Amino acid sequence: MAEFSPFAHIAIGMARFIRPDEVTFSGVNSTFAMLACLLAKRAYDFDFTYINVAGGVDPDPSFIPLSSSDPVLSQGSCSIFDNEDFYDLCCRGKMDLCFLGAAQIDGEGRTNVSAIGDWHKPKVRLPGGGGGAVMLPTARRAVTWRTEHSPRSLVQKLDFVTASGGMHGLATPIAIFEKRHGRLALKHWHPDSSLEEVIARTGFSFDAIGATPTPLPTDREREALASLDKHGTFERDANVRLR
Partner 1 sequence: MSRSKIVSLADLASRIPDGASVALGGSFLHRGPFALVRELIRQGKRNLEILKQSPGYDIDILCRAGVADRARVGIVAMEGNFGMAPWYRKAVEQGRLKLEEHACATLTAGMRAAAFGVPFQPVGGLHGSDLPELNGWKKLPDPYGSNEETWVIPRIRPDFAVIHVAEATASGDARTFGTPNWDHIMTRSAGRVLIVAEKLVEEEVFAQQPELTLVPRLLTEAVAIVPNGAWPGSCWPLYEVDYPTIEAYMDEKNEGFLDKHLAEAPETRHG
Given the rule CB under 8 A, which residues bind partner 1? 28-29, 31, 53-55, 66-72, 74, 80, 82-84, 87-88, 90-92, 110, 113-114, 119, 122-138, 160-165, 237-238
If the CB atoms of residues 67 and 197 are measured against partner 1, the closer one turns out to be: 67
Distance in angstroms (rounded) separating the CA atoms of residues 145 and 66: 18
For residue 199, how many C-alpha atoms fall within 13 Å in the half-sphere facing its CB?
A: 8
Q: How far is CA 65 from CA 78, 143, 216, 238, 243, in A?
A: 20, 21, 27, 14, 28
Q: Whose Cβ is closer to partner 1: residue 103's or residue 211's?
A: 103
The helix/strand count (H/E) of the chain reads as 7, 12
CB of residue 116 vs partner 1: minimum separation in angstroms?
Answer: 10
CA nearest neighbour of 173 among 211, 200, 146: 146
**Which of 162/214 has CB closer to partner 1?**
162
Q: How far is the CB of 82 from partner 1 (least distance, A)?
A: 5
> For residues 32 and 177, which CB has a smaller minimum distance to partner 1 in the complex?
32
Residue 17 Cβ, how far from partner 1 at the closest point, in Å? 20
Shortest reach from residue 72's CB to partner 1, in Å: 8
- CA atoms of 169 and 142, how far apart (whole Å): 7
